[in-house]
Structure 1
Amino acid sequence: MKYNRLGNSGLQVSSLCFGTMTFGDGSDEAMSQKVYAACRDKGINFFDCANVYAGGKSEEILGRLIKDHREEVVVATKGYYPMSDDVNGRGASRFHLTKALEASLNRLGTDYVDVYYIHHFDENTPLEETLSTLNDFVRQGKVLYLGLSNFAAWQIMKAIAICDKMGFAPISCIEPMYSLLKRQCESEILPLAIDQGLGVFSYSPLGGGYLTGKYLDKKGQGRFETSKMYQKRYEAETNLKTVRKFTDFAKDNDYNPVTLAIAWAASNPGITAPIVGARNLEQLSPVLDAVDFDMTDELWATIADFALAPAQPTDRSEE
């Protein structure tokens, strides 16, 4: 396993981050334990979670799994989305985040988390309030590093500027979506992260499972067929063409498309580690194989050509 620094910090994290969204939702506790153990055996030390995953069950299961070796693993969780119907039970306000973090710590069975993300930009709360709250979490020892998930480039840069101006604990990492089907972060977010020294833990490297090819001919199976969110996210006709080109290439060259897609995302120089997932050991095997995959610059470029590159941040294309 290769380990990379989390942004400008001294913390070393594995080059694959395992996302625990399926713990308690797709994987029962017994299977979650087996998947977790296999990840640890491979050298993964970074596990990503969120309070809303499986209605809190993911945090509870992860907490029990890390209990005997808490100091050996890096744990991330998130707050923003509602866990109740209360009018103040969502968002990035001090009121909500304070309660959300305490609840997450209780479910995880720990007195601190290594990384705490704001799960989404909150247009109804001043960013200064949010960042002041996060700074207090760090000062209290409840959070070690701060992150932003699903933020636009300008929102990330605004947060960094506020932290610098106010002397708050810095933003150390971000979580954007990134796969062959979703390359928008190549335009501004990844260059920003490299310039500012942010760790980047990208999610959905398989495009919601679309890049595996399993949804090309099968109907009515998996979250891609049942989730309107995933259908909307990948509905563009160009995605279907990209998937066909990608899976045909993988088949012709004897590559597992799961391994290939993850290795492609991981090989972007702006990515610290893609966040991967699996519901069982069978799914996990090709995921972990991405650690040892030799992704050359030539192969990366060949695969990149299967999809549309994102628009550049300026219209001075001649430069």
Structure 2
Amino acid sequence: MEYRHLGQSGLRVSSLTLGTMTFGGVGKMASVGETDLAGAKRQVDMATERGVNFFDTANMYSEGRSEEILGEVLADRRESVLVASKVRFPMGDGPNDEGLSRHHILRQCEASLRRLRTDWLDLYLMHQWDGSTPLEETLATMDQLVRDGKIRYYGVSNWSAWHVMKALQVCERHDFIKPICQQIHYTAQARDAEYELMPAAVDQGLGTMVWSPLAGGLLSGKYRRDQRHLDGTRFSQGWTEPPIHDEDRLFDLIDVLVEVADGHGVSAAQVALAWTLTRPGVSTAVIGARKDEQLKDNLASAELTLGPDEIAAIEKVSRPALLYPYWHQHNTASSRLGHADRVLHAAYLDD
């Protein structure tokens, strides 16, 4: 297992993080997974045996049950692992039971600490943007939590690049401790983050945690061109996250993933994960699984090394079209691009 710095912090995290959205199976999360305490212990043991030191949860996963299960499983090894949780989504029916207000953040941080049986969170993520709360209020609260020792670091999740840049500017102006990372969706199938989020993170020294790096199983190799309309599959039920804009393009990518996988004698899922870990700025990929055998397979991706030609083949078949102003920059200003610019532009220049 490789360990990477999370942004410019001194914190080193495993290149694979175990996500716990499947823990609990309460409420809406039952459709994601129903891993009970015994199953969670098996999965955590599997992950730590392969070198995983980072575990990701959220207060709203299974209405808090995911945190409770993770806290119980990690109780005897808390000092040797890193735990991330999140705040923002509703945790009740009241008008102040959601968002990134000081009121909600402080209450939910204490609740997460109780459920996780810990005195601190290693990382606390603001779980989506809150345009109804002054950013100064939100960031002052996160700064306070770090200084009080309740959290060690904090970051953002699913924010726009302008949200991130505004937050960094507010921190600079008020001398607040800054966020160290972003958690985003980013795969070979969904490379939208390369337009703004990834260049901004590289430029500002933020780490990037990738959630759903297999696109909810879309890139596992299970779905092939001739199986797209099989009953009982997510294709037959309508796939919305991530959205599929071009099925033929998707299956072209899956064909390449399977071809590369066959050459290594591994699964397409391992290839998709390994490719994501080669991308500039990626600190860790958050993996989760309903079944132990899926997790075992995903964990093996940490040991898979793709060749330059294989990386390039996956990049080329999945390369997005340049949007404005990027096609104009490519055509007229590519002689003076910076390091962060090349996160997006490099493939187009080198092709």
TM over 0.5: yes
Q: Which residue pairs with 2:232 in the alignment?
A: 220
Match of 2:268 among 257, 260, 265: 257
Whether contact under 8 Å (1:210, 1:243) holds in the other structure is no
SS of equivalent residue, structure 2 residue 55: strand
Q: Which residue pairs with 1:304 in the alignment?
A: 315
Question: Quick one: distance in 2 between partners of 1:129 and 1:251?
Answer: 48
- The 5-angstrom pairing of residues 83-102 of structure 1 reads 83-102=91-110
Question: Quick one: distance in 2 between partners of 1:21 and 1:287?
Answer: 16
Whether contact under 8 Å (2:252, 2:317) holds in the other structure is yes
Question: Quick one: distance in 1 between partners of 2:236 and 2:209?
Answer: 26
Task: Indicate yes or no: 2:149 matched with 1:118.
Answer: no
- The 5-angstrom pairing of residues 115-264 of structure 1 reads 115-216=123-224, 217=227, 218-221=230-233, 230-231=239-240, 233-238=242-247, 240-250=250-260, 252-253=262-263, 254-264=265-275
Question: Quick one: distance in 2 between partners of 1:244 and 1:263?
Answer: 14
Task: Indicate yes or no: 2:108 matched with 1:103.
Answer: no
Post-superposition offset of 1:67: 0.7
Whether contact under 8 Å (1:180, 1:207) holds in the other structure is no
Following TM superposition, the consecutive aligned residue runs of length 4 or more in structure 1 with deviations greater than 6 angstroms are none
Question: Quick one: distance in 2 between partners of 1:118 and 1:251?
Answer: 36
Match of 2:293 among 277, 282, 297: 282
Post-superposition offset of 1:309: 2.0
Post-superposition offset of 1:270: 1.1
- Show structure 2 runs of 5+ residues with no match: 26-32, 335-351
Question: Quick one: distance in 1 between partners of 2:45 and 2:207?
Answer: 25
Query: Are the structure 2 counterparts of residues 130 and 267 from structure 1 closer, same or farther at C-alpha, using a change threshold of 3 Å?
Result: same
RMSD across aligned positions (CA): 1.8
For residues 262-288 of structure 1, the C-alpha deviation after alignment (integer angstroms, 9 at most, x for no partner) is 101111121011111112221112101
TM-score calculated relative to the size of structure 2: 0.85
Question: Quick one: distance in 1 between partners of 2:252 and 2:110?
Answer: 43
Q: Which residue pairs with 2:344 in the alignment?
A: none
Question: Quick one: distance in 2 between partners of 1:310 and 1:189?
Answer: 16
Question: Quick one: distance in 2 between partners of 1:120 and 1:242?
Answer: 32
Whether contact under 8 Å (1:184, 1:310) holds in the other structure is no
Q: Which residue pairs with 2:330 in the alignment?
A: 317
Whether contact under 8 Å (1:211, 1:246) holds in the other structure is no
Post-superposition offset of 1:300: 1.1
Question: Quick one: distance in 2 between partners of 1:252 and 1:74?
Answer: 35
Q: Which residue pairs with 2:306 in the alignment?
A: 295
Whether contact under 8 Å (1:16, 1:275) holds in the other structure is yes
Whether contact under 8 Å (2:60, 2:89) holds in the other structure is yes
Amino acid at match of 2:329: R
Query: Are the structure 2 counterparts of residues 66 and 252 from structure 1 closer, same or farther at C-alpha, using a change threshold of 3 Å?
Result: closer
SS of equivalent residue, structure 2 residue 62: helix
Question: Quick one: distance in 2 between partners of 1:191 and 1:243?
Answer: 24
Q: Which residue pairs with 1:9 in the alignment?
A: 9
SS of equivalent residue, structure 2 residue 219: helix
Post-superposition offset of 1:297: 2.8
Question: Quick one: distance in 2 between partners of 1:59 and 1:224?
Answer: 31
Amino acid at match of 2:76: D
Match of 1:267 among 244, 265, 278: 278
Post-superposition offset of 1:123: 1.1
Post-superposition offset of 1:7: 1.3
Question: Quick one: distance in 1 between partners of 2:246 and 2:299?
Answer: 30
Question: Quick one: distance in 1 between partners of 2:252 and 2:133?
Answer: 39
Amino acid at match of 1:317: H
For residues 184-224 of structure 1, the C-alpha deviation after alignment (integer angstroms, 9 at most, x for no partner) is 11122112212211111111111111111324424325x67
Whether contact under 8 Å (1:32, 1:280) holds in the other structure is no
Post-superposition offset of 1:252: 4.7
Question: Quick one: distance in 1 between partners of 2:278 and 2:184?
Answer: 15
Query: Are the structure 2 counterparts of residues 260 and 89 from structure 1 closer, same or farther at C-alpha, using a change threshold of 3 Å?
Result: same
